């Protein structure tokens, strides 16, 4: 009796896994439950492979049946069909460009978080930020070199890397990463594919760079450049100069066999000069109140000291959801009937500057 029960349990468990394993969500190339930069690495690992076209394929965020499995698998046993995000039977840049970009940040089922390969200083490979522009100024542009590995500590068997840049969106207006075409990771020709996703509300910039020829490369030095643009008006600084931090988080560097290579993260401090005549940021921000938060049907914004000029509401991806402009009031009630539940960011512009707050809709 017990053995019959065991066999039955085994049968149902296996059948359940089989059902799950036969569906994919477009963009979740490593099938961990969420779409992010690590999925770009998996597309790169199977880049150029061909296999069966997925029946009725779309890149909409929905479970899609894998009608026929591919011959190839990743080193962890996952079928390469998952990396053909658009389902056209070829794994290439189009599997990154639309499916991963369009579905970025979305989740399905139970998420198994990606494991990052954050290393130990003085031992592992450094990923360094090097300010090559000196002191910054309002409206100015600055360059920060990004170096991977260094003399005496080279990277062996590099295939791809994903990481996030954290920055202060109140002071940095925009930033852009470009791979250096002469870099060692390109090996003299265009051998990598990149994706970068920016959230200018939260100040998070996700970057993935992956080779696409199934051949690892070893080396060290510059891999690219981060160009940053400083805001023209920085609200709320009391000193003539201010210093901000730009830091690297959540690094994952892979060999072709999915081995994590530990990486030491870095941060850099940047001074911005000649920022004068503005109010204390804490005074200014504490005068803005939002109630209730979390909210359900509405929230109210009030500003004690200066009138509200506009309200911009963004979703978690930094996309503008709604806007109210041309205001001149100290209190406004914002109806949110049509909004999905989730996390939002509201940017409140007053005569003294802009304040950004995180909101939750229940
Ligand atoms: Ca994923
Ligand atoms: Ca494809």
Domain with residue 148: its CATH number is 2.60.40.680
Assigned domain for 67 exists: yes
Query: pTM for the complete prediction?
Result: 0.73
Q: How far is the CA of 195 from the centre of ligand 2 (A)?
A: 16
Which ligand sits nearest to residue 208's alpha carbon? 1
The residue to which tokens 């205001």 are assigned? 327
Q: How far is the CA of 352 from the centre of ligand 2 (A)?
A: 49
Distance CA 352, CA 341 (A): 31
Query: Residue 285: its pLDDT value, please?
Result: 65
Q: How far is the CA of 26 from the centre of ligand 2 (A)?
A: 10
Instruction: Say how many residues make up the chain.
Output: 362
Q: How far is the CA of 113 from the centre of ligand 1 (A)?
A: 8
Assess whether 151 and 192 both reside in one domain.
Answer: yes
Assess whether 176 and 301 both reside in one domain.
Answer: no
Distance CA 52, CA 356 (A): 47
Q: Tokens in use for 134?
A: 């000196």
Q: How far is the CA of 99 from the centre of ligand 2 (A)?
A: 9
Q: How far is the CA of 206 from the centre of ligand 1 (A)?
A: 14
Q: How far is the CA of 229 from the centre of ligand 1 (A)?
A: 31
| pLDDT beneath 50, residues of the chain | 1-20, 237-238, 277-282
Q: Which helix (H) or strand (E) holds 39?
A: helix 37-45
Which ligand sits nearest to residue 106's alpha carbon? 1
Query: Residue 84: its pLDDT value, please?
Result: 98
Residue-number span of the structural domain to which 16 is assigned: 2-102
How many C-beta atoms lie closer than 10 Å to residue 346's C-beta?
A: 22
Assess whether 269 and 296 both reside in one domain.
Answer: no
* Backbone dihedral angles phi then psi of residue 333, each to the nearest 5 degrees: -100, 130
Q: How far is the CA of 41 from the centre of ligand 1 (A)?
A: 10
Which ligand sits nearest to residue 50's alpha carbon? 2
Assess whether 98 and 150 both reside in one domain.
Answer: no
Distance CA 294, CA 360 (A): 5
Which ligand sits nearest to residue 53's alpha carbon? 2
Distance CA 73, CA 79 (A): 4
How many C-beta atoms lie closer than 10 Å to residue 74's C-beta?
A: 19
Domain stop point among 273, 300, 328: 273
Distance (Å) of CA 101 to CA 27, 95, 247, 311: 8, 9, 23, 27
Assigned domain for 110 exists: no
Which ligand sits nearest to residue 48's alpha carbon? 2
Domain stop point among 229, 252, 273: 273
Assess whether 146 and 259 both reside in one domain.
Answer: yes
Assess whether 11 and 91 both reside in one domain.
Answer: yes
Assigned domain for 115 exists: no
Assigned domain for 318 exists: yes
Q: How far is the CA of 132 from the centre of ligand 1 (A)?
A: 34
Which ligand sits nearest to residue 93's alpha carbon? 2
Domain stop point among 253, 273, 293: 273
Query: Residue 255: its pLDDT value, please?
Result: 96
User: Which H, E and C letters describe 337-349, residue by residue?
Assistant: CCCCCEEEEEEEE
* Domain total of the chain: 3
Assess whether 248 and 314 both reside in one domain.
Answer: no
Assess whether 204 and 259 both reside in one domain.
Answer: yes
Query: Residue 37: its pLDDT value, please?
Result: 97
Question: What is the CATH classification number for the domain harbouring 300?
Answer: 2.60.40.1930
Residues with C-beta atoms within 5 A of ion ligand 2 = 84, 86, 88, 90, 95
Which ligand sits nearest to residue 85's alpha carbon? 2
- Cβ burial, residue 255 (10 Å; 0-12/13-18/19+): middle
Assess whether 158 and 204 both reside in one domain.
Answer: yes
Q: How far is the CA of 74 from the centre of ligand 1 (A)?
A: 14
Q: How far is the CA of 220 from the centre of ligand 1 (A)?
A: 28
Q: How far is the CA of 25 from the centre of ligand 1 (A)?
A: 9
Distance CA 344, CA 125 (A): 36
Q: Which helix (H) or strand (E) holds 282?
A: helix 281-286
Which ligand sits nearest to residue 31's alpha carbon? 1
Assigned domain for 296 exists: yes
Which ligand sits nearest to residue 78's alpha carbon? 1
How many C-beta atoms lie closer than 10 Å to residue 110's C-beta?
A: 7
Assigned domain for 117 exists: no
Assess whether 261 and 285 both reside in one domain.
Answer: no
Which ligand sits nearest to residue 90's alpha carbon? 2
Which ligand sits nearest to residue 114's alpha carbon? 1
Assess whether 232 and 146 both reside in one domain.
Answer: yes
Assigned domain for 290 exists: yes
Q: CA torsion angle for 71, 189, 211, 52 (degrees, to 10)? A: -30
Assess whether 267 and 285 both reside in one domain.
Answer: no
Query: Residue 5: its pLDDT value, please?
Result: 41
Assigned domain for 114 exists: no
Q: How far is the CA of 50 from the centre of ligand 2 (A)?
A: 8
């Amino acid at each position: 009796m017990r053995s019959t029960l065991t066999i039955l349990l085994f049968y149902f468990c296996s059948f359940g896994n089989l059902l799950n394993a036969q569906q994919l969500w477009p963009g979740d190339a490593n099938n961990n439950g969420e779409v992010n930069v690590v999925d770009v690495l998996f597309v790169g690992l199977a880049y150029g492979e061909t296999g069966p076209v997925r029946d009725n394929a779309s890149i909409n965020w929905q479970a899609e049946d894998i009608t026929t499995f591919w011959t190839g698998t990743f080193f962890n046993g996952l079928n390469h069909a998952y990396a053909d995000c658009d389902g056209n039977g070829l794994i290439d840049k189009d599997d990154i460009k639309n499916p991963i970009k369009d579905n970025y940040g979305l989740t399905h089922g139970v998420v198994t978080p990606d494991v990052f390969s954050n290393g130990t200083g003085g031992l592992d490979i450094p990923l360094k930020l090097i300010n090559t522009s000196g002191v910054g100024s309002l409206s100015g542009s600055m360059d920060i070199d990004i170096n991977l590995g260094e003399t005496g500590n080279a990277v062996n068997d590099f295939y791809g890397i994903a990481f996030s840049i954290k920055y202060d969106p109140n002071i940095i207006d925009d930033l852009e990463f470009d791979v250096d075409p002469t870099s060692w990771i390109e090996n003299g020709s265009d051998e990598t594919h990149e994706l970068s996703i920016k959230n200018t509300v939260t100040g998070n910039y996700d970057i993935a760079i992956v080779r696409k020829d199934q051949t690892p490369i070893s080396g060290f030095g510059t891999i690219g450049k981060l160009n940053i643009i400083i805001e023209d008006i920085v609200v709320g600084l009391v000193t003539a100069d201010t210093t901000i931090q730009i830091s690297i988080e959540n690094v994952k560097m892979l060999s072709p066999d999915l081995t994590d290579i530990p990486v030491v993260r870095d941060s850099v401090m940047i001074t911005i000069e000649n920022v004068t005549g503005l109010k204390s940021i804490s005074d200014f921000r504490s005068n803005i109140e939002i109630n209730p938060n979390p909210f359900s049907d509405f929230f109210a914004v009030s500003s004690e000291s200066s009138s509200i000029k506009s309200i911009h509401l963004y979703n978690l991806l930094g996309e503008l959801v709604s806007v109210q402009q041309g205001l001149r009031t100290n209190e406004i009630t914002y109806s949110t009937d049509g909004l999905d539940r989730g996390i939002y960011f509201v940017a409140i512009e007053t005569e003294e500057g802009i304040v950004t707050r995180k909101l939750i809709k229940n």
